[in-house]
Structure 1
Amino acid sequence: MKQLCLYILSFLGLVCVGVCKPREYILIKQLKTWTDAQSYCRLNHIDLATVQTDEDLKNLRQTASENAFALYGWIGLYNDITSWRWSHQDESVAYFNWYPGFPDNYGSGEECAVLRHDGYWFDYYCTLTRWSLCFEDKNGTVKYYLVDHSEV
């Protein structure tokens, strides 16, 4: 019985290695509103970036650090009036990393989220311009890269 459990756990571990892929990010170094950033990401990649796990956040922070990202960037998180959602496939949010005290909807109308270089999220006015973070799907592997698209 013990051998069977080890075999099953080993098999599940191998399945996870084959299926659980870390995410990487694309940083668009051009100021855009949230809507323009989403349109750009959907046209050229898949959508604005999502962060659903600690591993996603870790990979994002590591890549941001490697690319000296020290600002705020749009992610695919928005408030649809009843709850915060991811723009990609209108996914519900299973993982949160709000800065303490956020979202605060300061002054009303902060319906989109930015990611700060340290990995925390802040609610923000969608009409303001920021850099943006997109993701891509290559050969069934979700990829998020930080690259300089200043020519965009």
Structure 2
Amino acid sequence: MDYKLILFGLTGMLLSVACAQSRQYYFVNSSLTWTNAQSVCRRDYADLATIENPADVDAFLRTTSNYAGKAWIGLYDDRINGWKWSLNDSSFYGPGEYNFRNWYPVEPNNYLGKQYCARIYESSFGALGTWDDDACTVQ
């Protein structure tokens, strides 16, 4: 009986540690369209970055600290229901996380009616960590 209690206790601790781990972000320094970036991420990792809160923004920025441009994230406009995450597994998101947005002021603006994909600013000109919509074909 003691063995069962110890095993259950250890299992519970391991489960708690696994649940407490934060997401891992990987930066792929390649010029790719949103669709091609998504394909690479799905092939080599899990998906384009899903950012659900300010702590995720900070974690993402630490991963790309030596980069001074823009990087695709997994947010896109499906032109039917609005902006949604590429990773659409509802069990992945906690309350309110699916709807977190960090747009730069006046974004998204769908300039010329062709901006359906989101990217994050990596430069520090006052927009660091905020998001911009752009054409999905931009590399």
Change over 3 Å in CA distance of 1:55–1:114 after alignment to 2: same
Q: What are the ranges of 5 or more consecutive residues in structure 1 without an aligned counterpart?
A: 1-14, 130-152
Which of 89, 96, 99 aligns to 1:94? It is 99
| 1:1-152 alignment, distance < 5 Å | 19-65=19-65, 68-81=66-79, 82-89=81-88, 93-117=98-122, 118-129=128-139
Question: 2:11 matched to which residue of 1?
Answer: none
Cα deviation code 1:90-136 (max 9, x no counterpart)? 6683211000110000111100001111111100000110xxxxxxx
Question: 1:146 matched to which residue of 2?
Answer: none
RMSD: 1.9
TM-superposed deviation, 1:69: 1.3
SS in 2 for 1:114: strand
Change over 3 Å in CA distance of 1:16–1:109 after alignment to 2: farther
Change over 3 Å in CA distance of 1:62–1:111 after alignment to 2: same
TM-superposed deviation, 1:45: 1.0
Q: What are the ranges of 5 or more consecutive residues in structure 2 without an aligned counterpart?
A: 1-14, 91-96, 123-127
Deviating runs (4+, > 4 A) in structure 1? 15-18
Which amino acid is 1:105 matched to?
A: N
Change over 3 Å in CA distance of 1:103–1:127 after alignment to 2: same
| Paired residues, number | 113
Question: 2:12 matched to which residue of 1?
Answer: none
Name the TM-score, length of structure 1 as normaliser: 0.68
Decide which structure has greater strand share.
1
Structure with the greater relative contact order (CA < 8 A, sep ≥ 6): 1 or 2?
A: 1
Distance 1:73 1:27 in 2: 9
SS in 2 for 1:29: coil
TM-superposed deviation, 1:17: 6.0
Fraction of identical pairs, as percent: 38
